[in-house]
Structure 1
Amino acid sequence: MTSGGALRVAHFSDLHYGPRNLAEADRCFGVGIERAAEFDVDVAVISGDSTDHALDLHSPSAVALVSRVRRLADHCPVLMLQGTWSHEPPGTLSVFRALGGRHAVHVADRIGQVGLTTAGDWVVSPEWCFDALPEGLVALFSCLPSVNRAAVAATLGAADAAGATGEHVETLLRGVAPSHAMARQLGLPTLLVSHGTVFGCATEHGVPMAGFDHEFTTGSLFDAGAQAVLLGHIHRHQCWERNDGEGRRCIAYAGSIGRFHHGEAGDKGFLLWQVGPNSAACRLEATPARRTVDICFDGKPDLAALRTALVAQPVEGAWVRLRWSVPEEERNDVDRAAMRELLAGAAGVQFEGRIVPVIRVRSGGIGQAGAMRGKVGAWAGVVGARPETLWSCLDELATNEMQRILDDALAEPQPAVTVDARRPDDEAANDLKAVEFAGD
C-alpha cells in the first residue's frame, strides 16, 4: 500500500495460453510481470481466460503458464478469476491453488468475496458475500466469474436465458453494494472483478456490442458500489468513469495481453491501477505485442502494387495478412510463390483469397412478370429473340386441351428421309443431320 492508502494493482486479462498463442502470450505476459514487479504492485489480478482451452498439465502451454504465475506470486498475492467456460472448463484453474510461492494464489471460480490482509493472505467469504468484514483487511474484492449460459438455459429455458442473465447479474451486483459501502467507511479500497460483456463496449475489431443478451451495463456495474471494476473477456482496453458522491469510480477492460488476431486495434498490455477508498484510476502499460499488417486488393493481387505497398509500409518482422478477391475463372492466376518471396522478411504470412462465383442470369426479370406473355417477353429480351412468333403458340395453349395439341402435332405429315446406304457411314450421318437442321 502507498502512503496515501491507495492499493497498487496489476490487472492482467485474457492471456489465452495454448499451442496457437503460446509464443505471443508468454512473451507479453513475461514482460508484464517484470514491469509489475518494477512498479512494486501490492496485488495482481488475472480477470479470466488465462487459457485458450483445456490444457494437459504436461503440455508446454500449461508448464509456461504455471511458471509465469509462480513468478508473479513470488512478488505479490495473486487473484485468478474463472473465465469463459469454453476457454477455461471447470477445474482448469484448480492447480494454481496448490502453487507454491512467497504469496498465495486465490482462484475465484464461484461467486463470492475475498479480503486481502496486511500479511498478504486471502480471507474468503463463506457465502456469496461477507455478513461482517474480517479484521485486518487492506482491500475487499468481489468476484463474479463468467456466467455459465448453458446452466441458465437449462434452468430457465433457452428463450428466457438471454434476458434473465442480465437481470440476475444486476440483482447480484446491487446485493454487494452494502458491503462495499461498509468497506469504504472503514477506509478500504473496494474492487469488483468479473468476466463478461458490457452493453455498448467495442471489440478489438471495433464492433460495438449492442445486443440485449450481455451480462452488464455500465449502470449495473456502478450500482455495485465498488471504486474499481476490473473486467475481462473483451480484448480491447476501454474504460468508463463516474465522479459522484462516492468518489471517482472506474470500470475498465484490460484487454488481451497480446495480439492474437489480425485486425486488432489499439495497444495491448495490462492495467496499472491505483485504488483508494474514494478514488480509482488506471493506465495501460503496453506489452511488446506482435505487429500485424493487412494488405488488401479489390481484384487479383498486383505484384507491382505489392512492391509499392511494401516500400511505404515495411513488413520486416511483422505478421502479414494479404487479402484479394478474384472471379472463379481467375483463381489459378494468383502467383502465391511470388508474393511469398516478396514477403520473405515477414514473421508470418496469411493468405485470404476470396473466390467470386460466376453467376449466370438466364432470364433476368422473369420472376417479376405476372402474365405468361410478360415472362416470355422477358426471356426473349435476355436471349435476343423475337417473341412475336410465340404468341400463336401461347394462344393455342390457352384455348385448347393438351391432348388435342398433341394429336394435331402427330397428325401432321413427317418429311421423308432417304439415305444412300452405299455411301460411307459418316456421309450418311451428315445427311441425317442436315435433315434435322432443316426440320428445326
Structure 2
Amino acid sequence: MIKVAQFSDLHFSDKNLEEASRCFGFAVDQAIERGVDVAVISGDSTDHALDVHSPAVERLAREVRRLADHCPVLMLQGTFSHEPPGTLAIFPLLASRHPVHVADRLGQVALTKDGGWQASQGWRFDVVPPGARAVFTCVPTVNKATVAATVGATEAAEAVGHELAALLAGYAAINAAARAAQVPTIGVAHGTITGCVTEHGVPMAGFDHEFTTTSLFSAAAQAFMLGHIHKHQSWEDDGRVLAYAGSIGRFHHGELDAKGFLLWEVGAAVVRFQLIETPARRTVDLVFEGLPDLDAIAKAAQDLALAGAYVRVRWQVGEEERASVDRDAIKRALGEAADVQLEGRVVPVVRSRAAGISRANSLQEKVRVWARATGSEDGPLLERLAELAHRQPSQIAGAILAGEEPERIEEEQPQGVEQQADELAVPSVRALAQEARQDAVELELF
C-alpha cells in the first residue's frame, strides 16, 4: 500500500496568488503531516505563461521544493494555454531532498524503492521494472493541433478521443502484470471525461472530449488521478476508481462545492481516497431580476456575515433603467467584503417592423397596421389622433385641466376610389343637363 497526495489545478498567477498560495501551502502542510509517500500534481500548476521573476513562480517553486524535501513529486503537463510547453522544466532543477519528475509525454514512470523515478523508453514498459514500488501511467494534455494536421481540423477532437481510447487499452497488459507482482498501478491524466460536471454544475456532453470512463478503466490501473475539471467527483468500477481532485482553491464566482486535495491509499488490488478541504475563499452571489435592492443587500451583508467574503452582485434591467443603478451605494453596503464584483445585464429594447405600413394611404391606416403588429388597441389612439387634427394642443391641454370630457370627433376618411369616381361624375351630369336645356331652347325657336 502506498499513500499518495494528489493536488490539481493550482493556477498560480499574480491574480490568483493569494488564493493559490494559501490553499496550496495548507495542502502541502497537511500532506507532510500525514506522511504521504509520493505527491502528484495532475496539471495546470500555473494559470498562464509567467515570467521567471514573477512572485507567482517564486511561491510555486518554494512550495514544490518544500513538498519535494518530504517525498518524490510527479508533475503532469496541463493545458497548454495554462502551462505553455517548457513551463515545468525548471522544477526538476530544484535542489530538493527527493526528485521531481515532469511527465510531459505519453508514457509510464516507476517509483523505485529508493525514492527515485524511472521513466519508460517508449510509451510503456515492456516488463515491470525490478524494485518498482508503484507504476504510474501518464497521459498529459494531448496537442490537438498535431492530430488536426493529420486528420483535419473538423475531425481532430473526436480523433483524439479514439486514439487515446486505443492507447489506454494498450496499458492494460503491463498494469495487469504489475498487479500480479503486487505493485500498485496509478494513472495520471489531464483532460475532460464525457459526462463529468464542471464546478458550475454544467454537464460536459458531446463527443469531442478526451476521455470516457470506459476508456480510462480499460487501462486497468487501480487508481486514475485526474486534473482539468475544477469540481471534485469520482467513478468506481470493480474496485478501481477514477477521481478529479478539483482545483486547490476557489478562483471563480459560482463554484459550488468544497475545494481541496485527495489523499489516496493505493494497493495492488485495493484503493481508497478522501478529500482534504483547503481554506478556500468564500464566494457569495446576490442576484436580482430587476434593479438591485439596497435594503436587501444591506440585510444580506448582516445576515450572511459577508465580511471578508468575495461577493458578486448581478442584476438585469431594461435600457431605460440602466442609469438608475447606484454602483457606489452597492459597494458601500458591502464595505466589509474582501471584494465586490458588479455585473449588470441590460435588456435591449426590441423594435419590430410593421409590415405594410409604408403602403397605408393615411396616418389613421398606418396606426391600424402598427397596432396589429404590436398587439395594441387602435381605438384610443385613433380618437386622440383625430382630436389633434381638429384642435390645438393648448386647447386639448386646457380641456384636460378643466376636467372636460373629450369631444368625440368623427374620423376623417381617406379619399378612396369610389369617392373620387362620384366627384368625377358630378360635372358630367351637369354637362348633360346643360346640353339638354340648350336642345329644348333650340326646339322652341323652330
Q: Indicate whether the TM-score tops 0.5.
A: yes
What does residue 52 of structure 1 align with? Answer: 47
Match of 1:102, SS?
Answer: coil
What does residue 62 of structure 2 align with? Answer: 67
C-alpha separation in 1, matches of 2:413 and 2:35: 92
What does residue 168 of structure 1 align with? Answer: 163
What's the C-alpha RMSD, in Å, of the aligned pairs?
A: 2.3
The 3 A distance-change label for structure 1 pair 45 and 388 is farther
Match of 2:171, SS?
Answer: helix
Matched ranges for 1:272-283 at <5 A? 272-283=263-274
What does residue 186 of structure 2 align with? Answer: 191
Shift in Å at residue 389 of structure 1?
5.4
What does residue 305 of structure 1 align with? Answer: 296
Once the two structures are superposed, what CA deviation does each residue of 1:196-246 show, in whole Å capped at 9, x if it has no partner? Answer: 000110000000001110011111111100000000000000000112xxx
C-alpha separation in 2, matches of 1:94 and 1:213: 30
What does residue 249 of structure 2 align with? Answer: 258
What amino acid is aligned across from residue 71 of structure 2 in structure 1? C
The 3 A distance-change label for structure 1 pair 360 and 391 is farther
C-alpha separation in 2, matches of 1:320 and 1:337: 14
Shift in Å at residue 358 of structure 1?
2.2
Q: Give identity over the alignment, percent.
A: 57
1:31 to 26, 30, 33: 26
C-alpha separation in 1, matches of 2:154 and 2:350: 39
C-alpha separation in 1, matches of 2:334 and 2:292: 13
What amino acid is aligned across from residue 215 of structure 2 in structure 1? S
Asked if residue 316 in structure 1 is aligned to residue 307 in structure 2, the reply is yes
Match of 1:83, SS?
Answer: coil
C-alpha separation in 1, matches of 2:237 and 2:84: 35
2:95 to 92, 96, 100: 100
What does residue 418 of structure 1 align with? Answer: none
What amino acid is aligned across from residue 72 of structure 2 in structure 1? P
The 3 A distance-change label for structure 1 pair 380 and 129 is closer
Match of 1:93, SS?
Answer: helix
What does residue 333 of structure 1 align with? Answer: 324
What does residue 269 of structure 1 align with? Answer: 260
Shift in Å at residue 162 of structure 1?
1.6
What does residue 214 of structure 2 align with? Answer: 219
2:283 to 292, 296, 301: 292
What amino acid is aligned across from residue 132 of structure 2 in structure 1? L
Shift in Å at residue 309 of structure 1?
2.3
1:150 to 122, 145, 149: 145
Q: TM-score, normalised by structure 2?
A: 0.81
Once the two structures are superposed, what CA deviation does each residue of 1:122-155 show, in whole Å capped at 9, x if it has no partner? Answer: 0010111011222111100010101112221122
Higher mean C-alpha displacement, 147-156 vs 13-22: 147-156
Match of 2:344, SS?
Answer: strand
Shift in Å at residue 388 of structure 1?
11
Asked if residue 121 in structure 1 is aligned to residue 116 in structure 2, the reply is yes
What does residue 442 of structure 2 align with? Answer: none
What does residue 20 of structure 1 align with? Answer: 15
Once the two structures are superposed, what CA deviation does each residue of 1:70-104 show, in whole Å capped at 9, x if it has no partner? Answer: 00000000000000011111101011121111100
C-alpha separation in 2, matches of 1:31 and 1:305: 35
What does residue 80 of structure 1 align with? Answer: 75
Once the two structures are superposed, what CA deviation does each residue of 1:16-70 show, in whole Å capped at 9, x if it has no partner? Answer: 0111111100110000000000110000000000000111111111111111100
Contact 2:300 2:306 survives alignment (8 Å)? no
Residue ranges of structure 1 left out of the alignment (5+ in a row): 1-5, 397-440
Query: Which structure has the greater CA radius of gyration?
Result: 2
1:137 to 132, 137, 143: 132
The 3 A distance-change label for structure 1 pair 388 and 194 is farther
1:200 to 177, 195, 199: 195
Contact 2:193 2:209 survives alignment (8 Å)? yes
What does residue 233 of structure 1 align with? Answer: 228
C-alpha separation in 2, matches of 1:95 and 1:148: 21
The 3 A distance-change label for structure 1 pair 388 and 202 is farther
C-alpha separation in 1, matches of 2:269 and 2:412: 87
Q: TM-score, normalised by structure 1?
A: 0.83
Higher mean C-alpha displacement, 320-329 vs 177-186: 320-329
Shift in Å at residue 361 of structure 1?
3.8
Q: How many residues align?
A: 381
